[in-house]
Structure 1
Amino acid sequence: MSKPGLPQGTRDFSAATVRKRNYIFQTIKQVFELYGFQPLETPAMENLDTLMGKYGEEGDKLIFKILNNGLDNPAKREQAITDLQKILEGKNTKGITERALRYDLTIPFARYVAMNYGQLTMPFKRYQIQPVWRADRPQKGRYREFYQCDADVVGSNSLLNEVELTNIYATVFQQLGIPVEIRINSRKILAALAEVCGGADKMIDITVAIDKLDKIGIEKVKEELTQRGLNDEQINIIEKYLLISGDSDERLTQLEALIGKNDIGQKGLAEIKHVLSNCQLSTNNAQLIPDFTLARGLNYYTGIIFEVKAINVQMGSIGGGGRYDDLTGLFGVPNVPGVGISFGVDRIYDVMEELQLFPETVQIGSKVLFFNLGDAESKIAFSLLQQLRSAGIAGELFHEQSKFDKQFKYAEKKNIPFAIIIGSKEMENGTCVVKDLLKGTQEEMVQVDLVSYFAVGR
């Protein structure tokens, strides 16, 4: 029998890891709820035509397709062979695959809105915390199965939404203790850059190349732009654009000099100025920065776009999003504006591990361990344990009578902070010994006081 293993880019999570991840999930969820968002869940798989063509040329290549059922049916086998040849040629065929694992949460959300549009209260604000799958090359902070936490608003053109989403980012990362840069740009500015470089048809070529700047550097970006058919003059304009620097005001001045006469560029500048002037971040943990190299590779963005990076940590973005007006038009419901953000939980986890930001209390599951000192003693211990559980205090009774050393080691390995000991003497007196394993102290008390003792938040 071969040694068991996991598919590349996936992971098992131990209890310790799950508790830390749940701490992140709960922090994000509480902030979403604080801003009036409501939860939504969608299926793990979608129809293939729901997903294809929505993420750009690069994104479509990373969609995990699911084989149809019944391909071993002799009646379908001959057709399946023909269809498989089409798949090998890079084409899609319903004879082989009609469904795929979701690539993100935004397109399924747009599909949901289109299907339920008449029943939703607009603007509709939802959050979603579920796994997604991408056939990407696994590396640090990049997995094939990972969770996203999204918050989106549809049915509103107001830039108040962009301001609030910026503040959600700042609030969450303040509560998690991660210092971050929240970088913003506007796809309208990128559209203006394309027009300055010769036409709107250049925009996809330009944004796909610019989106790789952090990974491959400016010289490789210029090479890719050449391969995509841009001439030297156009590439020089893009290089000037990518070299814009300084504080926020200086960057805006340089940008205005480069594309400010363009109508759509003026609209993009106004959007960025509005967000910068109206975001009163209630934390010193987050910096809001206009970054005109920010492109976001997804084609559906139309306005403000976001990217969040942890400061002083070698890690890619830990959050991103933007405005995607008329995304539901892809599903037959046009003219529904929307904007949303996403948190990359797996990368956030890695950052918090590196910076040692998880509270020690995150690892506490059971609060008390009753020692097992015999049948009569454990019967009393179990009754008291059930009283504690009824009061919402988690605990365990050691599964068998064993030496003290073994039971203490069990508590230590499971990070259980209190041990409760009831021996023959305590049985007679109706008392118990409570040991605080973190402080190394102990006290004796009557058994009936146990619930009130732990109910005060020890």
Structure 2
Amino acid sequence: MKPSLAKGTRDFTAKEVINRRAIINTLQKNFELFGFQPLETPSFENLSTLTGKYGEEGDRLIFKILNSGDYASKTNDEDWDAKNSQKLISQISEKALRYDLTVPFARFVAMNHGQLVFPFKRYQIQPVWRADRPQKGRFREFYQCDADVVGSESLWQEVELVQLYLKSFKELNIPVTIHLNNRKILSGLAEYAGISEQLIDFTVALDKLDKIGKDGVVKELLEKNISQNSISKLDFLFSQSENALENVLQLKEKFEGNEVGTQGVEELEFVLTKCIELGISSDNIKFDITLARGLDYYTGAIFEVKANNVAMGSIGGGGRYDNLTEVFGVKNIPGIGISFGLDRIYLVMEELGLFAENEASSVRFLFANYGETEAVEALKIISKLRENGISAELYPEAAKLKKQFAYAEKKRIPNLIFFGAEEIVAGNITVKNLLNGEQETTVLSAFLKAD
């Protein structure tokens, strides 16, 4: 059988791993500078933990895990005959791969809230899985890098997360714009248009504006039985001014007497104003009234980060989710969090040529293998180098030197070491620099003391 990869997954070469690690190191450093503590949760959760948290579309993208053993033995024959997939899923699958890091984090908080000091700030860098249609920048297995704060309703958390985003992307040399909105504004819009009961349908459709355009959004709203009259009242959403203040003033007028919408506008104003007072350029933050982020659990501020001048979807996003732990029986723990999309960040940096040239091999010295006796002596030297934090390896076979040269060149190892019988007796070592062709014999003790 010809080997192949599962759709939506990838292998990573040494060079790619090194570049990904550089991104992760930058994010991890900044997470900790902002006071976040590391956390890891299992790759899979109980299916009941995940379902009902991401909306109807999100639930369909959860990878379910079949129960071990004869998973079909305890099912209802009638459900098979009726092809009732929803009833069958609950009978044959109790676990699922995590869809994101936020819901498992909420589960962790609910289980451990008595031992945590609030506000509790955690960061998490782990893979997640979604049964999505693979395309550029969208994979079925990918990493999320999350930072969340729970136990505080303060809007200063929103301001700090904007700062965290901008500092991290500045260090990665990616010019970005952070799009901001507030879920309460979207609730206010639904109330204004008389479609409060269809809020989820409205926000899910609106969140696709970048992908399907105004006509596509309108078509989807009509398919969800939202009236043309309601859609007409919302037409101003598709012709927003570049001036965020003008858009806010327009909303204030439309939200007169609309309590939830007005609250959303006031919260958004606070965040935008404080960011500007802290020296954040208005070019880096944008009020995007059509930003919806189609996840059911957001209740306040919502973020989306886009790289400037790159044809890519969002490379980060998040928002406030004040009610998430309630589904686990723990109330009154408000939260807010953001996520960095590692895989999309990688693609953006690759497109912009931002990765430093790195050698796939981290090995600094390759010792030629002359035979068993010489190999033992070479490994003694190699051990001392490794104790000093210097990478080195012995060619595994006593092959012809031509073959050993070729191996070093293909792996881009810069130095080939000759430590044969003559060198051992004389207490010398010969180093050949494969980059410039120069060769030098030196006293072994001096070689070991050099950097």
The answer to whether the superposition gives a TM-score over 0.5 is yes
CA distance in 1, matches of 2:258, 2:439: 75
Provide, for residues 235-262 of structure 1, a one-character-per-residue CA deviation record: whole Å limited to 9, x for no partner: 1232212321313334433443443653
Provide, for residues 363-391 of structure 1, a one-character-per-residue CA deviation record: whole Å limited to 9, x for no partner: 44222222334444433322111111111
- Asked whether the equivalents of residues 178 and 285 of structure 1 are also in contact (C-alpha less than 8 Å), the reply is no
Which residue does 1:278 correspond to in 2?
274
CA distance in 1, matches of 2:251, 2:186: 11
- Asked whether the equivalents of residues 125 and 143 of structure 2 are also in contact (C-alpha less than 8 Å), the reply is yes
Equivalent residue of 1:325, what SS?
coil
- What is the correspondence of 1:34-113 to structure 2 with a 5 Å cutoff? 34-71=33-70, 77=73, 79=75, 81-85=77-81, 88-91=84-87, 93-113=89-109
Equivalent residue of 2:191, what SS?
helix
CA distance in 2, matches of 1:444, 1:290: 66
Q: Within the alignment, does 1:315 sit opposite 2:312 as a pair?
A: yes
CA distance in 2, matches of 1:231, 1:60: 27
Provide, for residues 93-112 of structure 1, a one-character-per-residue CA deviation record: whole Å limited to 9, x for no partner: 54222221111111111111
Which residue does 1:328 correspond to in 2?
325
Which residue does 1:337 correspond to in 2?
334
Provide, for residues 247-305 of structure 1, a one-character-per-residue CA deviation record: whole Å limited to 9, x for no partner: 33344334434436533222222222222233367888982222111100001001111
Name which of 376, 394, 408 aligns with 2:405.
408
Structure 1 residue 449: Cα displacement:
2.9
Q: Within the alignment, does 1:212 sit opposite 2:211 as a pair?
A: no
Q: Within the alignment, does 1:389 sit opposite 2:372 as a pair?
A: no
CA distance in 1, matches of 2:248, 2:381: 67
Q: Compared with structure 1, are the counterparts of its residues 270 and 98 closer, same or farther at alpha carbon in structure 2 (3 Å cutoff)?
A: same
- Asked whether the equivalents of residues 42 and 108 of structure 1 are also in contact (C-alpha less than 8 Å), the reply is yes
- Asked whether the equivalents of residues 83 and 93 of structure 1 are also in contact (C-alpha less than 8 Å), the reply is no
Provide, for residues 31-89 of structure 1, a one-character-per-residue CA deviation record: whole Å limited to 9, x for no partner: 111111111111122111111111011111111112222326xxx63735445456644
- Asked whether the equivalents of residues 430 and 442 of structure 2 are also in contact (C-alpha less than 8 Å), the reply is yes
Structure 1 residue 442: Cα displacement:
4.9
- The alignment of Structure 1 onto Structure 2 pairs a total of residues equal to 450
Structure 1 residue 313: Cα displacement:
1.6
- Asked whether the equivalents of residues 124 and 154 of structure 1 are also in contact (C-alpha less than 8 Å), the reply is yes
Question: Residue 352 of structure 1 aligns to which amino acid in structure 2?
Answer: M
- Asked whether the equivalents of residues 15 and 358 of structure 2 are also in contact (C-alpha less than 8 Å), the reply is no
- What is the correspondence of 1:43-442 to structure 2 with a 5 Å cutoff? 43-71=42-70, 77=73, 79=75, 81-85=77-81, 88-91=84-87, 93-259=89-255, 262-279=258-275, 287-361=284-358, 363-438=360-435, 441-442=438-439
CA distance in 1, matches of 2:406, 2:246: 61
CA distance in 2, matches of 1:85, 1:23: 53
- The percent of aligned pairs where both chains have the same amino acid is 54
- Asked whether the equivalents of residues 417 and 437 of structure 1 are also in contact (C-alpha less than 8 Å), the reply is yes
Equivalent residue of 2:424, what SS?
helix
Question: Residue 395 of structure 2 aligns to which amino acid in structure 1?
Answer: F
Q: Within the alignment, does 1:23 sit opposite 2:22 as a pair?
A: yes
Equivalent residue of 1:410, what SS?
helix
CA distance in 1, matches of 2:280, 2:413: 34
- Asked whether the equivalents of residues 195 and 226 of structure 2 are also in contact (C-alpha less than 8 Å), the reply is no
Question: Residue 12 of structure 1 aligns to which amino acid in structure 2?
Answer: D
Structure 1 residue 341: Cα displacement:
0.7
Report the more deviating stretch, 42-51 or 330-339.
42-51
CA distance in 2, matches of 1:400, 1:37: 49
CA distance in 2, matches of 1:157, 1:86: 48
Report the more deviating stretch, 175-184 or 148-157.
175-184
Report the more deviating stretch, 255-264 or 394-403.
255-264
CA distance in 2, matches of 1:405, 1:325: 66
Report the more deviating stretch, 387-396 or 411-420.
411-420
CA distance in 1, matches of 2:118, 2:82: 43
Structure 1 residue 182: Cα displacement:
1.4
Q: Compared with structure 1, are the counterparts of its residues 84 and 258 closer, same or farther at alpha carbon in structure 2 (3 Å cutoff)?
A: same
Provide, for residues 318-374 of structure 1, a one-character-per-residue CA deviation record: whole Å limited to 9, x for no partner: 111100002100110011100001111111222222222222237442222223344
CA distance in 1, matches of 2:26, 2:350: 16
CA distance in 1, matches of 2:389, 2:43: 34
Gaps of 5+ in 2: none
Question: Residue 350 of structure 2 aligns to which amino acid in structure 1?
Answer: E
CA distance in 2, matches of 1:206, 1:141: 25
Q: Could you state the TM-score of these two structures normalised by the residue count of structure 2?
A: 0.92
> RMSD of the TM alignment (CA)?
2.5
- Asked whether the equivalents of residues 36 and 125 of structure 1 are also in contact (C-alpha less than 8 Å), the reply is yes
Equivalent residue of 2:125, what SS?
strand
Q: Compared with structure 1, are the counterparts of its residues 431 and 124 closer, same or farther at alpha carbon in structure 2 (3 Å cutoff)?
A: same
CA distance in 2, matches of 1:406, 1:224: 64
- Asked whether the equivalents of residues 170 and 285 of structure 1 are also in contact (C-alpha less than 8 Å), the reply is no
CA distance in 1, matches of 2:46, 2:74: 24
Q: Compared with structure 1, are the counterparts of its residues 420 and 238 closer, same or farther at alpha carbon in structure 2 (3 Å cutoff)?
A: farther
CA distance in 2, matches of 1:246, 1:435: 62
- Asked whether the equivalents of residues 20 and 362 of structure 1 are also in contact (C-alpha less than 8 Å), the reply is no
- Asked whether the equivalents of residues 326 and 337 of structure 1 are also in contact (C-alpha less than 8 Å), the reply is yes
- Asked whether the equivalents of residues 74 and 91 of structure 2 are also in contact (C-alpha less than 8 Å), the reply is no
